[in-house]
């Protein structure tokens, strides 16, 4: 219940933010109204001594969230994907928030496994080691299956984590409502929407069947990608609180000295990780939205292995085409076309001046292309682009924000492997291939076939639709305007023709 019982938790939260110095940093980053900042300081200062101290070595906000526990850590991670809410600088700080927490006992994990999977441990695994990683929601053990003797990674939710998260989310909702009530000006920050978004993400992660499904879909989409591997889930050893995947053996992508010592080509790895991300985003519209070094390994054969599928991004086909056209426009420095794409997609209001917008885009692109290869940044360009589009009235699009945030992370990973990498040169073949396959004549024919097939499904219903329309028209006892009736009959005729065309095209193709 979102009531007064949450007040103590919020006091402790405010006190921790005040004690760690995170209060002023967070409110400033979110451009909170002055009245709200003053109220937060006045209310927080008397209770400062109640706050957790945290780790002084961490930045203020990261320090506060880590001290407050798992729900707050996860909240910080989710906010790191929303620079539109917390600002770019704070989002970058939150992105490095470490999820390293004390593990819970191995025997508790075993009890959870037996309860969830309905069998004694000996029937499930012949080996089950101590935790190799402990995060805010779950921890991971290395094990060996009893049936096939296969090495696997077993992810087990923390005991009581669902209840703990629901309690804290309850307090977050209470705080959001309180903020909106006390400061109407704060509503532009959409605190309630932010908490709703967080609740949706977390509730999804608390059901490991959904992460297993994401891993399965991602593995299926990428099974033909050379030099890339995704551990496949074992469904018979997975449930709501347990997920079992094939074990990913390799060197962490962030361990550059070890990669060099193993003889891996760092430049090739850098290019591959960037091209793989763009390929997944553009080709599939389903991409790993947390592709930092901690979630990537390199196998002995040189394959990049991805794991941890708690945060995945999805963009529809139309948005992918728009994104690709924007990227290729910048790559070719065709700013007029980039401007046209924004207007055609409805991202920028039609009453704005397209030539002025094109000039603003040129001001974004040209300085970046004037840099040497080591400083050319696609992530920086996208960040500048969002600033310009916001100035021209573009509404925030969450899917593009997540895409841009992931692009920043992926570019950072690539730069850590090859500091002199030319991001645009590496991206160009992927984007041009997508453009060729999805925006050229071949794509037009494919779209027409799909459209005809969809409309053709209404073919058997055309007589019924025509009869209903004519009956309604007669019941009104008002003569239908000849032009309108003619238009309707023309549409019906066109529908019939489309049905025939659909049948022919389907047979042809």
Q: How many CB atoms lie within 10 A of CB 184?
A: 11
Strands 312-314 and 125-134: unpaired
CA distances from 164 to 11, 116, 227, 353 (A): 17, 20, 40, 51
Report how far residue 462's alpha carbon sits from residue 399's, in angstroms, rounded to the nearest whole number.
Answer: 38
Eight-state DSSP code of residue 5? G
Strands 151-157 and 242-246: antiparallel
At 412, list the tokens: 């950072």
* CB contact burial 198-223 (16+ within 10 A = b; e otherwise): bbebbeebbbbebbbbbbbebbebbe
Query: Terminal CA-to-CA distance of the chain, rounded, Å?
Result: 58
Give the catalytic positions in this structure.
Answer: 290
DSSP-assigned states of every residue in 225-242: -TTEE-PPB-GGG--SSE
Q: How many CB atoms lie within 10 A of CB 507?
A: 7
Report how far residue 42's alpha carbon sits from residue 131's, in angstroms, rounded to the nearest whole number.
Answer: 44
- 3-state secondary structure labels for all residues of 130-160: EEEEECCCEEEEEEEECCCCCEEEEEEECCC
Backbone φ and ψ of 37, nearest 5°: -60, -45
Q: How many CB atoms lie within 10 A of CB 141?
A: 23
At 375, list the tokens: 């400083």
At 23, list the tokens: 């209060």
Backbone φ and ψ of 264, nearest 5°: -80, 145
Report how far residue 469's alpha carbon sits from residue 491's, in angstroms, rounded to the nearest whole number.
Answer: 12
Report how far residue 407's alpha carbon sits from residue 415's, in angstroms, rounded to the nearest whole number.
Answer: 12
Helix/strand/coil for 37: helix
Residues in contact with 237: Cβ distance below 8 Å, sequence separation at least 6, in sequence order: 117, 124, 145, 152, 154, 244
Strands 304-306 and 125-134: unpaired
């Amino acid at each position: 219940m979102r009531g007064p019982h949450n007040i103590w938790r919020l006091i402790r939260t405010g006190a921790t933010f005040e004690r760690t110095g995170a209060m002023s940093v967070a409110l400033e980053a979110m451009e909170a109204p002055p009245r709200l900042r003053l109220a937060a300081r006045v209310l927080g200062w008397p209770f400062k001594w109640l706050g957790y101290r945290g780790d002084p070595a961490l930045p203020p906000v990261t320090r506060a969230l880590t001290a407050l526990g798992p729900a707050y850590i996860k909240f910080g991670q989710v906010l790191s994907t929303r620079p539109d809410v917390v600002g770019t600088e704070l989002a970058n700080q939150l992105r490095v928030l470490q999820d390293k927490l004390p593990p819970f006992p191995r025997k508790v994990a075993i009890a959870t496994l037996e309860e969830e999977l309905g069998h004694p441990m000996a029937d499930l695994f012949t080996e089950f080691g101590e935790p190799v990683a402990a995060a805010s929601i779950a921890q991971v053990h290395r094990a060996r299956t009893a049936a096939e003797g296969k090495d696997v990674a077993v992810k087990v939710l923390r005991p009581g984590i669902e209840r703990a998260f629901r309690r804290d989310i309850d307090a977050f909702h209470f705080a959001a409502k309180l903020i909106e009530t006390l400061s109407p000006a704060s509503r532009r920050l959409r605190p309630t929407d932010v908490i709703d978004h967080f609740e949706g993400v977390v509730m999804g992660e608390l059901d490991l069947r959904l992460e297993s499904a994401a891993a399965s879909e991602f593995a299926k989409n990428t099974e033909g990608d050379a030099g890339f591997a995704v551990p496949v889930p074992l469904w018979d050893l997975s449930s709501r609180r347990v997920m079992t995947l094939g074990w990913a053996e390799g060197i962490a992508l962030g361990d550059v000295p070890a990669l060099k010592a193993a003889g891996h080509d760092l430049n090739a790895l850098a290019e591959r990780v960037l091209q793989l991300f763009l390929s997944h985003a553009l080709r599939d519209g389903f991409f790993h939205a947390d592709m930092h070094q901690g979630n990537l390994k390199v196998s002995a054969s040189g394959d990049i292995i991805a794991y941890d599928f708690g945060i995945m991004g999805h963009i529809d086909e139309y948005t992918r085409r728009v994104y690709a056209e924007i990227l290729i426009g910048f790559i070719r420095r065709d700013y007029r076309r980039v401007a046209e794409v924004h207007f055609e997609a409805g991202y920028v209001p039609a009453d704005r001046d397209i030539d002025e917008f094109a000039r603003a885009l040129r001001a974004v692109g040209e300085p970046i292309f004037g840099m040497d290869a080591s400083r050319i940044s696609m992530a920086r360009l996208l960040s500048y682009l969002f600033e310009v589009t916001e100035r021209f009235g573009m509404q925030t699009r969450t899917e593009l924000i997540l895409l841009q945030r992931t692009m920043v992370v992926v570019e950072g990973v690539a730069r850590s492997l090859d500091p002199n990498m030319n991001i645009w040169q590496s991206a160009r073949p992927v984007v041009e291939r997508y453009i060729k396959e999805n925006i050229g004549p071949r794509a037009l024919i494919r779209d027409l076939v799909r459209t005809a097939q969809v409309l053709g499904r209404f073919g058997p219903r055309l007589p019924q639709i025509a009869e209903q329309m004519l009956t309604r028209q007669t019941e009104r006892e008002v003569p239908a305007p000849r032009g309108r009736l003619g238009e309707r009959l023309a549409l019906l005729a066109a529908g019939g023709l489309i049905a025939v065309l659909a049948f022919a095209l389907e047979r042809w193709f």
